[in-house]
Amino acid sequence: MYILTTSFINKNFLQSIFLYFCNVKLQTLTIKLNHMPGFELWGEEERKEVSDVLETGILMRYGFDGPRKGIWKSIELEKEICKTFGSKYAQLTSSGTSALTTAMAALGIGAGDEVIMPSFTFVASFEAVLSIGAIPVLVDVDESLTLNPQAVLNAITRKTKCVMPVHMCGSMADMDALKAICDEHNLILLEDACQSIGGTYKGKFLGTIGHAGTFSFDFVKTITCAEGGVVMTNDEAVYVKCDGYTDHGHDHKGVDRGADLHPFIGYNFRISELHAAVGLAQIKKLDTFLAIQKKNHAQLKNILAQLPEISFRTIPDATGDSCTFLSWFLPTEDITKAVVAELKAQNIVAGNFYWYANNWHYIKQWQHLKEATTLYNLNEEQKTALLKLQTQDFSVSDAIMSRCISTSISLLWSEEQVKEKGEKIIAVIKKVLEKESINA
């Protein structure tokens, strides 16, 4: 009995230590990764949708019509996406990266085609371009932190096939200007809206304005399904190609998968029912997420706006900002670097992103891209284009990105916490500015 009791206590004790460490770990995770935070409001709704799938055990989105007992989470999520964002068609994929790859394949972009994209994005944008044999042409961003339309115009050649704006950090590119350029030069407009779920431009959802657009539902996006993505388009032919491409070229016309025809070569970029189930719960919370983001964003912006040295990102349609981040500029690169260093010194750097020095989001640190470091042989055109990036002048982007800090907006902040965050940032900047003026 004694032994039993001790081992019971021990077990409880060990369990609480374990839970304590899990908790600490989870908190660190939240602090480090609170990018765009659907995962912050995980709950009963997600568990319910997933358990519907676990009940039947049919984890695949296609086939097994009998045993799945009417549970079709992927189809349901695609319908919900069409309804929510006003897109005619939606094709779920295994990730945002595979959504971009799928969209490009379906739009007929391939070997030798040039895709104009911004110098500031996530690496996935150029990964997708390279994966279909095309050439990423990187051009400058402006203070919208997205494609500079004039830089796009300057980069157009005979080989240009597509312009791919990336709606970074919750807000949008100047879509009227980019659409006009694409129309005039007969180019495909493909929106990488992976980071801007729920953002709008002149009344239309980001990702639904070009020939096609993509979202990512990875773990740190506005809504998550762990891993997943979607291609949205209003073009039925493009959609049908996406549908086949993500499933080994299956035409999905019959009831027997094995008897399907393969009108073209495809791939496997399928989403699973488990992932789609999570997405289904999350998309129903999107309005709540956006409302919280907008409220916290507005409060933080009001605080930072008190300091005349801070300016903010330009937003082509301010009402359409999804407000996942508040992006702001300081007057010079030196001041910005000093502020970042001071934020670090005071241990409040988490959630404040200095993209200029970041390994994953800006051309400056993409040595692997500029040196064409791949595991396999690229085609010669791709290799030549990548090596040329080493000498390309990105000083216009540098001048913008080196002064920019993006503060990610959490869904969990109280008003008090936003106030505290804002005031801490202000205090850091004031301290740096005072030092500067003494040194000057």
Ligand X SMILES: *Cc1c(COP(=O)(O)O)cnc(C)c1O
Residues in contact with ligand X by the rule CB under 6 A: 95-97, 121-122, 124-125, 166, 192, 194-195, 216, 218, 229
- DSSP lists the bridge partners of residue 229 as 93, 216
Of the pair 50, 194, the CB lying nearest ligand X is at 194
Q: Is the dihedral of CA 406, 209, 108, 60 positive or negative?
A: positive
Phi first, then psi, for residue 13 (nearest 5°) are -65, -50
Other Cβ atoms less than 10 A from the Cβ of 180: the count is 12
Minimum gap (Å) between residue 154 Cβ and ligand X? 23
221 given a catalytic annotation: yes
Q: Which residue of the set 73, 161, 221, 370 is catalytic? A: 221
**Residue 327 three-state SS:** strand
Minimum gap (Å) between residue 226 Cβ and ligand X? 10
Of the pair 124, 404, the CB lying nearest ligand X is at 124
Minimum gap (Å) between residue 320 Cβ and ligand X? 17
**Residue 312 three-state SS:** strand
- Report the C-alpha gap between 173 and 145 in whole angstroms: 8
Measured N-to-C along each axis, helices 273-283 and 73-85 cross at an angle, to the nearest 10 degrees, of 30
- Residue entry with tokens 């309804």: 83
- Report the C-alpha gap between 420 and 239 in whole angstroms: 47
Closest-approach residue to ligand X (CB): 96
**One-letter-per-residue 3-state SS of 209-273:** CCCEEEEECCCCCCCCCCCCEEEEECCHHHHHHHHHHCECCCCCCCCCHHHCCCCCCCCECCCCH
Of the pair 192, 342, the CB lying nearest ligand X is at 192
Minimum gap (Å) between residue 126 Cβ and ligand X? 10
Joined together, the tokens standing for residue 405 give: 């800090």
Of the pair 58, 172, the CB lying nearest ligand X is at 172
- DSSP lists the bridge partners of residue 329 as 311, 404
Minimum gap (Å) between residue 188 Cβ and ligand X? 17
Minimum gap (Å) between residue 125 Cβ and ligand X? 5
Of the pair 129, 310, the CB lying nearest ligand X is at 129
Catalytically annotated residues: 221
